[in-house]
Amino acid sequence: MIVPETADKIKSMEIRGAGRIARAVAEALRDHALSLQVSALDVFRQEMEQTAALLLATRPTAVSLPNAVHMVMAGLNHTKTIEEAKAGVVRCADEFIRSSQHAVEQIGQFGASHIRDGDTILTHCNSEVALGCIIEAHRQGKKIEVFATEVRPRNQGLITIRTLNDAGIKTNFIVDSAVRSFINDVDLVIVGADAVTVNGAVVNKIGTAQVAHSAREARVNLMVAAETYKFAPRTILGEFIRIEERAGNEVLPDEIARTLPYVTVRNPAFDVTPSEYIDLIVTEKGAIPPQMAYVIIRDYLGWGIDEFHLAFGSAGLNGE
């Protein structure tokens, strides 16, 4: 897939889900590197950096995107010829895609071990890895039932219920605002993540924080399923993750909005769930309490304070 097409599909949410976005970005960078016909290494680097910047601008909240770009672009390091640079980008992109796909499988296995036979599970939005945990538990023969939210305004819940239905899992489809009405019927909440901060807070689809609040009030455990590349290195020094606000016409059609001149439609795509509302984060490296998020950033993403300064200098202190 060519880069502008990939960028447009990510912006329009035709490609959605943090893991799928990350893999699409890695594929786009790889294919672009292979297609470039230039004679100078510095021109090749400049072209790749411009392409990376274009992809980075598509979705500001999903940390998987800049992490994927960082890992793929690392293939340019210490290269002296265009051939080496191309080979490095291709190698890093393929490694990222393989590890991402493997992570989904591993998280499914780890997450399923925290689901008991007979559990009723609530999930919000359409998370590849959260659903992987549920489907793996079902595959293991555990009798489970799911409550899945509608997920306004883009209705990602429709994708979720189709996936669960295809897997043969009994599912209840509810509007987002009905979570509190059903939370006492639920044994476990499982959600995905678009980003995990250094203090263990989770950025996920709008409404997740309200689900988490209801779960905590009802004493229902909340488990987050997230690949390690969704952890946010730049939060080490206090940088905030920018919460994307999308067009108002996703909520209210323009022809209606034009008749309401004093009404402004607000449409944030994500919210932040504090770490104290989260019981467990399941990654492909195992399950951790949210307070151990820094360990993932340090040990598996390879980012500590020194590496942060080396990559970003003082710019990382400025926030978004």
Enumerate the active-site residues: 125, 194
* Cα–Cα dist 8/202, whole Å: 26
CA dihedral 22, 27, 28, 34 (to 10 degrees): 150
Q: Which two tokens stand for residue 175?
A: 């509007």
Provide the phi-psi class of 175: left if phi over 0, else alpha when psi is between -120 and 50, else beta. Answer: beta
Q: Which two tokens stand for residue 303?
A: 């980012």
Interhelix angle for 128-139 vs 82-112, to 10°? 50
Instruction: Find the distance separating the first CA and the last CA of the chain, reported in whole Å.
Output: 29
Bridge partners (DSSP) of residue 280 are: 223
How many angstroms separate the Cα of 206 from the Cα of each of 13, 203, 246? 15, 9, 11
* Cα–Cα dist 205/297, whole Å: 22
